[in-house]
Structure 1
Amino acid sequence: MALPGWIERAIERIGARGAELKLALRVTIAGVLAYAVTRFFNMPQGYWAVITAVVVMQASVGGSLKAAIERFSGTLAGAIYGGVIAALIPHGSATTLGLAIIVALFPLALLAAVKPAFRVAPITSLIMLLPPTGQAIGPLASAFDRVLEIMLGNIVGVAVAMFVLPARAHTLMTEAAARVVSLNAELVTVFIDELTAGPSGRSALQSIHPQIRSALKKAEAAAEEAARERRTHLTEAPDPEPLIRTLYRVRHDLVMIGRAASSPLPAPVLDRLGPSLTTLHQATRTLLLNLAEALRHRRKPPDQEVFRAALEAFTSDADALRADALFHQLSSKVFGQVFALGFAFEQFQKNLSDLLARTDDLASKTS
């Protein structure tokens, strides 16, 4: 029995959000588990552990570890300093409480401004002063409870991130990198179309470039989390920084190709370079799409011989054209355009080789 169309569409949309569903499940498990632990130990303000477990849960283990460290360090600084202020400065009246808040907030707010990792410190310091529970059990005891509860929430959050449908930062990074590479393939197609048919793809560029920038930012953020996983020995994957650096270099090469392709080639030039340019386009697109799949699945990179042969053929045709008398009858702009296009593709080939090598490193560490 076929399902109604709206149900099938809903299932497809849910299936396309697998990573988001896993994160939501981990957040839920972390919150429930933290609550169960606080009930088991009968902690008076156990809700802070539950809140912390939810707050530290990020898309990857490295991100959760970073959030847990920042949450704990900020809480520890705020609890100690706020507890000391609460113990030393009487705050029974509105005036004295206002003074205590000033003394408690300003130094920690300055610390959070300088080091964002401590951004929860001012909040924790205020909690030491404002809630009646802190006054009922004493400021130092309240500070101790707060640190203990936050620490418990951190432990639960990081444990769930590591063992419940764990999402390693390297995986998130390679998925974002694969997205960048596949968008680069679309970008090359737009550039070649502009060279052969005119600037009809400007609207497509307005859509592709923001997507590439967004994917690069995601890859860079995931690389930072992946580096943290490496430093804490949670993974043996290679250093992520070279991959991100190479992605940006390839991006720069494509910008150069785009500038060279900003206007169509004259008909006499296109007659000479059109066939090899079309072959180069097809080889480049195929290589980039296969490379994106290799990154996405952490497989060995594709062979680049077809692309290299296509580039050599285009370069040879361009050199022959530059030596032809016909070419010298064209404008200096066309001469510069052909030279810039060949130079940009040569630089692109070098950095693409480096990207293939980085992909091979990732596959070797996985296998």
Structure 2
Amino acid sequence: MALSGWIERAGERLGTRGAELRLALRVTIAGVLAYAVTRFFDMPQGYWAVITAVVVMQASVGGSLKAAVERFSGTLAGAVYGGVIAALIPHGSAVTLGLAITAALLPLALLAAVRPAFRVAPITSLIMLLPPTGQTIGPLASAMDRVLEITLGNVVGVLVAVFVLPARAHNLMTDAAAKVVSLNADLVTVFIDELTDAQTGRSALQKIHPQIRSALKKAEAAAEEAARERRTHLTEAPDPEPLIRTLYRVRHDLVMIGRAASAPLPAPVLDRLRPSLTTLHQTTRALLLNLADALRHHTKPPDAEAFRAALEAFTRDADALRADALVRELPGHAFGQVFALGFAFEQFQKNLGDLLARTDELAAERTKTPPGS
């Protein structure tokens, strides 16, 4: 019974790691396939093709393409330059080998520092000088073998990424974007709690803000890979940049709302605004959570009419405060806080509308229907 329970729990955990399991399977297939190809062609240093195929394999096709291009360019630069150094500088003794290593490393290390895409170039150059095989078959032949094997590994890695359980970068991007939007819903709740409860602190923000920044970085990185997939015609998905820009604009709007919500509202103001503020909170949170689900599943975005109506009601109540004699006796910063909150929510509404439109475009691409239809 204990063993069956453990197996069941392990199965449940693995079931939530579908993306990780697919990546592990692609890495394994790429390594084994590269090894089989090198054995078929009887390559003397075929292990480099196996290593490259494993290194190239990333979470998405776009990421694998980037890794393959960087691996190839760095290897080509390192192999050519390292081969030239090995041919021109005798390195039979420890002293001359040290000089050759210095001559091989310094310019390539500088190149890698300036252009991170060439970060494997110094390593490849060292390999050209250090292993006995390179000295046995000659520097030029070793350089040619190295480039050929790395190229083979790149090809195998990219092919496996494309055809074996491919993980499109657009899906990774929308998953990260959905995470951002759902965290935004939690953020709105924290802000409203601060406005309505004097005992509420800002400790929750110390947890939510880093999570949002992390999710935004993941979405931005996936968007870069998605753009690479589009440039290589591996996908017909919409341009990912508008979605990322809109997420950052919404993020800025929420920062403005947070500043307006940095202190609880005075009791007379809160008594007047609590009903409409509560409705605005509920509709905003519901809209953001439903929008996150739409992004995650590439479905049509939710209707924002309830949110718009709630914002209009809150704006009317805020405007009505000007005619209230009791409220007018309060300090001016109380009015400023209310109207800053209303202005921030209006800006939030505009950018949220853009986010809904981007979500509609993604859903339309999945179903091949015109956006908004």
- Name the TM-score, length of structure 1 as normaliser: 0.97
Structure 1: distance between partners of 2:151 and 2:28: 18
Is it true that 1:269 corresponds to 2:266 in the alignment? no
- Structure 1 residue 232: deviation in Å? 0.9
Equivalent residue number for residue 189 of structure 2: 189
Which deviates further from its counterpart, 59-68 or 184-193?
Answer: 184-193
Structure 1: distance between partners of 2:216 and 2:199: 26
Which deviates further from its counterpart, 203-212 or 106-115?
Answer: 203-212
Segments of structure 1 that go 5 or more residues without pairing to the other structure are none
* SS at structure 2 position matched to 1:269: helix
Equivalent residue number for residue 200 of structure 2: 200
Superposition pairs of residues 324-343 of structure 1, within 5 angstroms:
324-343=324-343
Equivalent residue number for residue 223 of structure 1: 223
Equivalent residue number for residue 38 of structure 1: 38
Equivalent residue number for residue 358 of structure 1: 358
CA RMSD after TM alignment: 1.3
State the percentage of identical aligned residues. 86
* SS at structure 2 position matched to 1:234: coil
CA pair 74-186 structure 1, distance change in 2 beyond 3 A: same
Is it true that 1:80 corresponds to 2:106 in the alignment? no
Structure 2: distance between partners of 1:237 and 1:190: 35
Structure 1: distance between partners of 2:102 and 2:139: 17
Paired amino acid for 2:49: A
Structure 2: distance between partners of 1:284 and 1:182: 11
Structure 1: distance between partners of 2:248 and 2:180: 10
Superposition pairs of residues 106-117 of structure 1, within 5 angstroms:
106-117=106-117
Equivalent residue number for residue 23 of structure 2: 23
Structure 2: distance between partners of 1:218 and 1:199: 34
Deviations 1:104-124 (A, max 9, x none): 111111111110000000111
Is it true that 1:105 corresponds to 2:112 in the alignment? no
Q: 1:51, 1:153 within 8 Å by CA — same for their partners in 2?
A: yes
* SS at structure 2 position matched to 1:92: coil
Equivalent residue number for residue 295 of structure 1: 295
CA pair 170-201 structure 1, distance change in 2 beyond 3 A: farther
Equivalent residue number for residue 154 of structure 2: 154
- Structure 1 residue 282: deviation in Å? 0.7
Equivalent residue number for residue 253 of structure 1: 253
- Structure 1 residue 299: deviation in Å? 1.0
Structure 2: distance between partners of 1:322 and 1:212: 37
Equivalent residue number for residue 233 of structure 2: 233
Paired amino acid for 2:26: R
Q: How many residues are treated as equivalent by the alignment?
A: 367
Segments of structure 2 that go 5 or more residues without pairing to the other structure are 368-373
Equivalent residue number for residue 345 of structure 1: 345
Which deviates further from its counterpart, 235-244 or 196-205?
Answer: 196-205
Q: 1:199, 1:263 within 8 Å by CA — same for their partners in 2?
A: no
Structure 1: distance between partners of 2:2 and 2:320: 62
- Name the TM-score, length of structure 2 as normaliser: 0.96
Structure 2: distance between partners of 1:53 and 1:352: 42
Structure 2: distance between partners of 1:234 and 1:86: 40
Deviations 1:263-315 (A, max 9, x none): 11122111111100111111101100110011001111111111001100000
Paired amino acid for 1:341: L
Structure 1: distance between partners of 2:108 and 2:60: 29
Q: 1:199, 1:262 within 8 Å by CA — same for their partners in 2?
A: no
- Structure 1 residue 3: deviation in Å? 7.3
Which deviates further from its counterpart, 88-97 or 153-162?
Answer: 88-97
Q: 1:190, 1:201 within 8 Å by CA — same for their partners in 2?
A: no
Structure 2: distance between partners of 1:269 and 1:155: 66
Deviations 1:93-147 (A, max 9, x none): 1111111111111111111111000000011111111111111111000000000
Deviations 1:41-91 (A, max 9, x none): 111110000000000110000000000000000000110111111111111
